[in-house]
Amino acid sequence: MYLYGASGHGKVIKEILDAQHKTVDGFVDDNPGVERQCGLPVLHSLDHVDEVIVSIGANSVRKRIVEKLTCRFAVAVHPSAVCSLSATIGEGTVVMAGAIINAESVIGNHCIVNTGSSIDHECVIGNYVHISPHVTLCGNVRVGEGSWIGAGSTIIPGVRIGRWCVVGAGSVVTKDIPDGYLAAGNGCELIKKIQEDLL
The active-site residue, picked from 9, 78, 110, 121, is 121
DSSP state of 70: -
**Judged by CB under 6 A, how many residues of this single chain contact ligand COA?**
15
The single residue among 90, 157, 170, 178 that binds ligand COA, judged by CB under 6 A, is 170
In angstroms, the CA 164 to CA 20 distance is 31
Radius of gyration (C-alpha) of the chain in whole angstroms: 16
First vs last C-alpha separation in the chain: 26
CB nearer to ligand COA: pick between 108 and 116: 116
- Interaction of residue 193 with ligand COA, rule CB under 6 A: no
121 catalytic, yes or no? yes
Q: Which of 168, 177, 180, 181 binds ligand COA (CB under 6 A)?
A: 168
Q: How far is the CB of 119 from ligand COA (least distance, A)?
A: 16
Using the minimum distance from each CB to ligand COA, give the nearer residue, 65 or 151.
151
DSSP of 96-153, one letter per residue?
A: -TT-EE-TT-EE-TT-EE-TT-EE-TT-EE-TT-EE-TT-EE-TT-EE-TT-EE-TT-
Residues sharing a CB contact under 8 Å with residue 199, sequence separation 6 or more, in sequence order: 58, 59, 60, 130, 146, 147, 148, 164, 166
Q: Is 166 in the site for ligand COA (CB under 6 A)?
A: yes
- Among positions 95-134, residues that touch ligand COA (CB under 6 A) are 114, 132-133
Q: Shortest Cβ contact with ligand COA: which residue?
A: 168
Q: Using the minimum distance from each CB to ligand COA, give the nearer residue, 88 or 98.
A: 98
Q: Which residues bind ligand COA (CB under 6 A)?
A: 114, 132-133, 150-151, 166, 168-171, 182, 184-185, 191, 198
